[in-house]
Structure 1
């Protein structure tokens, strides 16, 4: 048999060879760890559908962030569980709300931690939708004002970046204008630019107690069948002033991550969501897969697809492995 002159296996003979030509790298700087913040003191509750992920009270955040920093994780994104909810989600912009307290606590205890805040109303509305309800529908323009107030309140509390996840039309422009008007022009916006109406969010909705009480979110989140629409959504957010574009979910939408990477020069974030996390955890617990190896392969694939940063519940697990290799 005649072989070609180039044999790819020559460069796979050892770990050193493989490392020398490795095209994609994964490091802790690229990982963002989600934190669920709950009322009370000295509380830490594991989320049943997300083994290894916890809801913690504000007073526990300092230790949680120190643990992250020790592992090399320098960024967190916050989700809040308020004590009370109402139809308009007014608790989202309360200066003494759960997230506003959480930001101040983290910045007091670990000022070097980069704090990103999720800007949405679903955790604060008694109906569980991401905006204000008028005539049994989520009203886009009424919601924008509350989202802008929420983002501003996060910046005033000390957040380093805000991340609107509501998928209302025009919310990036509204938030950018509110931040700039109040001299927070240096606060970046990480936009959930391409967020699909996905079945992978189930465990998150358990964790954050934010399932819709009626209907679904298909009138504002994207149809999973659509790809060209993702480019239009991202273009709108770029034009409105987004600094980072996010794709959510991640694994089932790597084609979208790749398309955004080819089309735009802004940083791209991938949200490795709760259902994607839970499936790996469940299969690993059954002994069907090597959980650590599948976790790493999955996160590496998101980087290979074009993600510059990854929001993942595996951040601490992955960072531990990376730290042990140093």
Structure 2
């Protein structure tokens, strides 16, 4: 499990990150704790969560449950807290189940962080992320109708300064070690960087956006910013919500799978997506490689990739995915993947 830098923080993270969004719904606490144990034993030192988890579905009754499950593990293994980088997220504007949907601001950060720390049973979070920007985002399949023309750039920057100053107070208190973004754009990330350089607060260390063989919105402007500014990508859904495993091909919907709970996979299910998946499955078959390993190993070849976040409902799925760390893709496979991408761009 190769280490990679977490921005300019001096911290390093494993190239694969354990995602936890099913902990507390699809994955019971004992199984979640077994996953943490197994991931750490395999060399993963990076665990990602959020105040709003678990999902599938998001519910007011379950908000914070994933952090509580991780917290129970922390309480039982307190001597091991320094073995891994723990990341969580502050929900953005419109999340009705917390703070009545209030936007992220200097006034919300301390109380929200304190609640996460209490649930996680830790004194600090290594990476504190904003889950999505208050102004909205082209992520979550909103790119098809994205329109930023109603934004107020001055007000956005004023809010960013307010947030950065509050974050700096937490850095000074020792409650967070680094700051990250999620579901952000190139313009938004550049504003956060500029304002940090102007002395308003901590520099952005990472960005967590969706990225996979099927979702490559990060490949152009965000890629350039990420590489040149050393703001590494934490890719979520590198298996495209399970589509790239092939388990949904031919109309199959395995019992207990994400599609059985969220039939449209959050807008990822489309008329073209199964043909695109089949193109990648065909490459994997012809080269005798597991499609899960191919998808994850490909993500790790990208020049901006810091860590690919994968989640597993079961311990067996976790163990299977870990095999990707041992896979190196040939130039022939990479070339065929590039050709498949050109033939099947943006299937959702």
CA contact (8 A) 1:250 1:272 kept: yes
CA distance in 2, matches of 1:247, 1:132: 24
Q: What pairs up with 1:1-326 in 2 under 5 angstroms? A: 29-36=14-21, 45=26, 55-57=27-29, 59-79=30-50, 80-81=53-54, 85=60, 97-110=64-77, 111=80, 112-120=83-91, 125-126=96-97, 132-133=100-101, 140=103, 143-155=105-117, 157-158=121-122, 159-168=125-134, 169-170=159-160, 172-180=163-171, 183-184=173-174, 187-192=177-182, 195=183, 229-230=187-188, 232-236=190-194, 238-239=196-197, 240-251=201-212, 252=216, 253-265=218-230, 267-273=231-237, 276-282=240-246, 288=278, 289=281, 290=284, 292-293=290-291, 295-297=293-295, 299-313=297-311, 316-322=319-325
SS in 1 for 2:60: coil
CA contact (8 A) 2:296 2:324 kept: no
Query: Per-residue displacement from partner, 1:121-142 (whole Å, max 9, x unpaired)?
Result: 689634xxx8745xxxxx546x
SS in 2 for 1:319: helix
CA distance in 2, matches of 1:124, 1:140: 9
CA distance in 2, matches of 1:273, 1:33: 12
CA distance in 2, matches of 1:238, 1:307: 22
In the TM superposition, what is the alpha-carbon distance from 1:319 to its structure 2 partner? 1.9
In the TM superposition, what is the alpha-carbon distance from 1:185 to its structure 2 partner? 5.6
In the TM superposition, what is the alpha-carbon distance from 1:65 to its structure 2 partner? 0.5
CA distance in 2, matches of 1:65, 1:106: 8
- Structure 1 residues 144 and 131, CA, compared in 2 at 3 Å: closer, same or farther? farther
CA contact (8 A) 2:92 2:130 kept: no
Query: Per-residue displacement from partner, 1:291-323 (whole Å, max 9, x unpaired)?
Result: 734643554345433222222337754422436
Across the two proteins, how many residue pairs are aligned to each other?
236
- Structure 1 residues 123 and 74, CA, compared in 2 at 3 Å: closer, same or farther? farther
In the TM superposition, what is the alpha-carbon distance from 1:268 to its structure 2 partner? 0.6
Query: Per-residue displacement from partner, 1:89-120 (whole Å, max 9, x unpaired)?
Result: xx97xxxx535523422223442343221221
- Structure 1 residues 232 and 132, CA, compared in 2 at 3 Å: closer, same or farther? farther
Query: Per-residue displacement from partner, 1:29-59 (whole Å, max 9, x unpaired)?
Result: 21111112555xxxx62xxxxxxxxx333x4
CA contact (8 A) 1:257 1:268 kept: no
CA contact (8 A) 1:103 1:115 kept: no
Compute the TM-score of the two structures, normalised by the length of structure 2. Answer: 0.53
CA distance in 1, matches of 2:195, 2:19: 23
CA distance in 2, matches of 1:172, 1:236: 14
Query: Per-residue displacement from partner, 1:179-214 (whole Å, max 9, x unpaired)?
Result: 146x2166222222xx25xxxxxxxxxxxxxxxxxx
Unaligned residue ranges in structure 2 (runs of 5+): 5-12, 135-158, 251-276, 313-317, 329-348
SS in 1 for 2:20: strand
Compute the TM-score of the two structures, normalised by the length of structure 1. Answer: 0.56
CA distance in 1, matches of 2:70, 2:221: 32
